[in-house]
């Protein structure tokens, strides 16, 4: 009888236990007891570009997104509507710092104006990687960019070759505040002054990377200098502005046009011969390498201060070559 009573008590305890378990809240799938642990967050890296209005930046965005997948980090890619909006970019940089990211990638519109915020990032132990355009500071731990002085110098050599080493030429640059604007202007202008005494640079103007403004500036220069033999556009918007002016004023074949970057309109102009040729960067490589460098900086790995992403000259003789096609974009 006593044995029967013990068995009865055990059965009742088991039933009670089953009832309690049945009423407990279910654990999320994949947990193994204890409190559910959230997955570790990926490092966050904001990538702040100069803008979005040119296909160049879309190619940089693609490269940075590829790197984010490969290195398992989260990124955002943003930039102001216009490359003239320095204040807007500074606001974006401040917002990025406030989010306390693991690192920041920055293509500065103004090589000096961003320095106070870079100092804040350094104080917060946020490594900064420059891309496309450096700054006048040692705070960025690395900068992934084209050697713009060398590239623009090469454009000057091609200009001299194509106009026969003598004549008047002009330049439209996107700005005189970013490192790219300064270096491309100086690379071209200084090479002409140093090597080609019979070539005169009659004007250098700044169109803010806007093709409409650059068109107006280029037309005014052509009207003021009817003997102009060559025109250099120092980025995609500048080069398109020069092309528009030359076409509208029916100066095709009379003015040698050399551009920088790619994009559909420039490629079509090179194929047709209206543009003699252009310098192309590796925008996908720039985007990839800046995020890769940011990941290395987060891990405390050694970095080269200047990561040279290279450049190529393309014209209608090599625009479809295997080593050029991957560097061009629409």
At 23 the pLDDT is 38
At 326 the pLDDT is 87
Low-confidence ranges of the chain (pLDDT < 70): 1-40
How far is the C-alpha of 282 from the C-alpha of 142, rounded, in Å?
17
Q: Which CATH number fits domain 148-280: 3.40.1190.10, 3.50.30.50, 3.90.45.10, 3.40.50.2300?
A: 3.40.50.2300
Predicted confidence (pLDDT) per residue in 11-41, tens digit: 444 444 333 334 333 333 333 333 444 556 8
At 149 the pLDDT is 97
- Fold match, 44-146+283-310 / 148-280: yes
Fold classification of 44-146+283-310 is Rossmann fold (3.40.50)
Secondary-structure breakdown of the chain: helix, strand, coil percentages, each rounded to the nearest 5: 45, 20, 40
Task: Report pTM.
Answer: 0.82
Q: Of 183, 113, 185, whose CA–CA distance to 146 is shortest?
A: 183
- Going from N- to C-terminal start, the domains of the chain cover 44-146+283-310, 148-280
Is residue 25 classed as helix, strand or coil in its secondary structure?
coil
At 19 the pLDDT is 36
At 329 the pLDDT is 87
At 37 the pLDDT is 42
Whether 85 and 50 have beta carbons less than 8 Å apart is answered as: no
At 139 the pLDDT is 98
How far is the C-alpha of 118 from the C-alpha of 127, rounded, in Å?
9
Predicted confidence (pLDDT) per residue in 260-290, tens digit: 999 999 999 999 999 999 999 999 999 999 9
């Amino acid at each position: 009888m006593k044995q029967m009573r013990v068995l009865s008590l055990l059965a009742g305890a088991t039933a009670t236990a089953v009832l309690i378990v049945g009423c407990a809240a279910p654990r999320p799938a994949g947990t193994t007891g204890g409190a559910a642990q959230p997955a570790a967050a990926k490092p966050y890296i904001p990538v702040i570009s100069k803008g979005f209005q040119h296909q160049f930046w879309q190619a940089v965005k693609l490269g940075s997104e590829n790197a984010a997948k490969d290195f398992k980090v989260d990124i955002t890619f943003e930039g102001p509507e216009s490359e003239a909006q320095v204040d807007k970019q500074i606001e974006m940089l401040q917002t990025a710092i406030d989010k306390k990211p693991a690192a920041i990638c920055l293509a500065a519109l103004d090589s000096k104006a961003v320095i106070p915020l870079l100092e804040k990032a350094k104080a917060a132990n946020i490594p900064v990687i420059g891309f496309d355009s450096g700054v006048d500071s040692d705070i960025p731990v690395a900068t992934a960019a084209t050697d713009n002085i060398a590239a623009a110098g090469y454009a000057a050599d091609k200009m001299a070759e194509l106009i026969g080493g003598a004549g008047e030429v002009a330049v439209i640059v996107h700005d005189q505040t970013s490192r790219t604007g300064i270096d491309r202007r100086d690379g071209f202008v200084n090479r002409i002054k140093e090597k080609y005494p019979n070539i005169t640079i009659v004007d250098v103007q700044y169109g803010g990377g806007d093709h409409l403004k650059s068109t107006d500036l280029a037309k005014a220069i052509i009207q003021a200098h009817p003997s102009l033999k060559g025109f250099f556009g120092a980025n995609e918007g500048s080069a398109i502005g020069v092309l528009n002016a030359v076409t509208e004023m029916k100066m095709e074949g009379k003015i040698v046009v050399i551009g920088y970057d790619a994009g559909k309109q420039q490629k079509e102009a090179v194929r047709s011969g209206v543009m003699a040729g252009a310098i192309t960067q590796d925008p996908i490589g720039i985007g990839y390498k800046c995020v890769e460098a940011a990941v290395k900086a987060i891990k405390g790995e050694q970095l080269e201060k200047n990561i040279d992403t290279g450049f190529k000259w393309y014209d209608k003789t090599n625009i479809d070559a295997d080593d050029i096609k991957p560097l061009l974009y629409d």
